[in-house]
Amino acid sequence: MSRTLLKTSFVESSGRERAHSILDDQSYKELLGPQDNIESPHLEPQGIVPQSDDGVVVAKGTINEHPAIVISIEGNFQGGGIGEVSGAKIAGVLELALKECESGMRIIPVLVFDTGGVRLQEANYGVLSIAEIGAAIVALRRYVPVIAVIPGKIGAFGGMSITAGLCSKIIMTRGARLGLNGPEVIEQEAGIREFDSKDKQLIWGTIGGEQRTAAGFADVLIEDDADAIKEKISSFILEDTVYSPRTLQGDRYETLLSLVEPEQRLSANEVRLLWKLSENEEIKEKLPSLESDKSTGRGQTWFDLLRADFLEIGDIPSVRVADGMIGEKKVRFIAVVPDNQNRFPRARKGEVGLLEAWSIAKHVRNAIKADQNSEKRTIVAIVDVPSQAYGYHEELLGIHQACAAAVDAYASARLEGHPVISFIPGNAISGAFLSHGMQANRLIALHDEGVNVHVMSKQSAARITQRTLEELEIATKKVPAMAYDIKSFEKLGALFSLVDGVEASSPEKKDRDIIYKEIDRAIEDVRTDNSRDLSGRLSSSYAQSGGRAASILVREKLREQWK
């Protein structure tokens, strides 16, 4: 049979077949495969049949003789959702590759996405894993290009679209989709007039492979041919160039956003034109509207309290930035707050939207640059975010990429030696939390009913997992990672501290002093610990005593099999 005449469909292949087709025939070595049978421990208690590899294939080998790892998500199992085991497989193998790269090897990571994002049945485990995956990719990119392939049929959604946005190169087919919020979720959260999830043409024109490539959110539109995909990946490995990932092209994306008039519904074609224009245009200065009413939310309240009398340096009303002091330490405070005049109407209630995420990225990057040769100031993310912004324009203009830029900036600051601390006096929810807070060295939360951590509103989560709200509530009781309260989140071991006895909504000076002390303690902890990654979340006592049992086990097994 002549292979040259018969193309092998990459899209129709299983996750494992895809991994095989990318790696050289004899080199393929799968880690934690079906025989190891490490299943998700969280599915059976919810009446869901698990899979022997938890839906993720990780394999080591070579691509045209170049050392590589391939991570391939099986979209047919639970929609490719990232749970604790599947997430730890991805993060764990990236961390191993990173170690090799740090010691001089050149191992190219390739991620094949086919995922709806966080597996809602394991909720916060998914969010924690995706933060760890992102942290590893940002660290790896300092040594090697990280390649993303999005073949379809599902595409890359939710937190995993942010992950794709962190990669050096993105390859898509015409049948692939890339977006932060899936069509059903936008319809649920923002209404059918914002996005009709049954309108296929609308979906492909917004987040489909062809549109994404033409509008600056992917690099290559490729035909569905396994050999061609392998050769394309290989060409990116061999090219001896340093890629500038999209996350570092904030000026261009800001220009794009400045060209948009959000009052009118943009078409797919208009975005393509604006993207071309943005290459040469200057940013149109949009003066922040001064008449915005100042929010009375927790984010704003705490921002004002913590920055004390230091001047604000932010450039949009919804992202508050100030350089203050805690004792002798220089601290940059960043908060996302409601702005009822926001140019993008879907981001007026304190959501992390397009402008917000790019602005966060800019202000974190500025601090990194300014401190290149001096004391690395602490960066404190004040987290009170109800969600990412759900809207048509948000997807069309690449909110996943904006979020990736924020993730990248915080992670880079951490890697450069800035203590990055998240202070959570309010809600810390899904993509918004991933972008603003989750990359911190240390997380500090208030023990208060108004502090919630979760992945998706209960209404949306019920719709996507096809359960009733009542069924969802019952499942929540069995799996702490699905619960929304901060006490349950604490059990997962990611918090540095949960602070009692602080007035969360209307704090006073004494409350501020308690938080100053906590932040100071966290900074000292970062300085003595010396590690610049997120490993502290797995070595905490809660994590060790069962909170992250599967995450730890998976990493141990991966290490054994890596050699």
Partner 1 sequence: MENFTFTFPATNKIDRFAHVGVVGSGDLEVLMEPSSDLQTEVTIRTGITGFETTWEPLIQRFFTQHDIAAKVKINDFGATPGVVKLRLEQALEVAANE
Q: Which residues bind to partner 1, rule: CB under 8 A? A: 14-15, 33-35, 37, 44, 47-52, 74, 76-78
Which residue, 15 or 419, is less far from partner 1 as judged by CB?
A: 15
Q: How far is the CB of 474 from partner 1 (least distance, A)?
A: 15
Q: How far is the CB of 73 from partner 1 (least distance, A)?
A: 12
| Buried/exposed code over 431-467 (b: 16+ C-beta within 10 A; e: otherwise) | bbbbbbbbbbbbbbbbbbeebbbbbbbeebbbbbbeb
Neighbours of 532 (CB within 10 A): 19
Query: Token pair for residue 165?
Result: 């946005």
Rounded Cα–Cα distance for residues 553 and 549 (Å): 6
Q: Are 172 and 216 in contact (CB under 8 A)?
A: no
Q: How far is the CB of 33 from partner 1 (least distance, A)?
A: 7
Neighbours of 292 (CB within 10 A): 17
Please work out, in degrees rounded to the nearest 5, the angle formed at the alpha carbon of residue 84 by the alpha carbons of 78 and 90.
Answer: 90
Q: How far is the CB of 111 from partner 1 (least distance, A)?
A: 19
Q: How far is the CB of 472 from partner 1 (least distance, A)?
A: 17
Residue with tokens 């979906």: 203
Query: Token pair for residue 2?
Result: 């002549």
Instruction: Give every CB contact of residue 326 below 8 A, 6+ residues apart in sequence.
Output: 378, 516, 519, 520, 523
Q: How far is the CB of 43 from partner 1 (least distance, A)?
A: 9
Q: How far is the CB of 385 from partner 1 (least distance, A)?
A: 34
Which residue, 77 or 125, is less far from partner 1 as judged by CB?
A: 77
Which residue, 75 or 250, is less far from partner 1 as judged by CB?
A: 75
Q: How far is the CB of 555 from partner 1 (least distance, A)?
A: 23
- Helix ranges (H only) for 317-468 are 354-370, 392-396, 399-416, 430-435, 458-464
Q: What 8-state DSSP symbol labels residue 545? A: I
Neighbours of 98 (CB within 10 A): 22
Positive or negative: CA dihedral 165, 531, 330, 295: positive
Q: How far is the CB of 362 from partner 1 (least distance, A)?
A: 42
Nearest to 181 by CA among 56, 347, 11, 412: 347
Which residue, 154 or 220, is less far from partner 1 as judged by CB?
A: 154
Which residue, 370 or 474, is less far from partner 1 as judged by CB?
A: 474
Q: Are 70 and 42 in contact (CB under 8 A)?
A: no
Q: How far is the CB of 206 from partner 1 (least distance, A)?
A: 25
Residue with tokens 């951490």: 414
Q: Are 248 and 214 in contact (CB under 8 A)?
A: no
Question: What is the biggest distance separating any 2 CA atoms in the chain, rounded to whole angstroms?
Answer: 78
Q: Which residues pair with 325 in a beta bridge?
A: 330
Which residue, 154 or 486, is less far from partner 1 as judged by CB?
A: 154
Q: Are 22 and 230 in contact (CB under 8 A)?
A: yes
Residue 198 burial by Cβ neighbours in a 10 Å radius (0-12, 13-18, 19+): exposed
Q: How far is the CB of 557 from partner 1 (least distance, A)?
A: 17
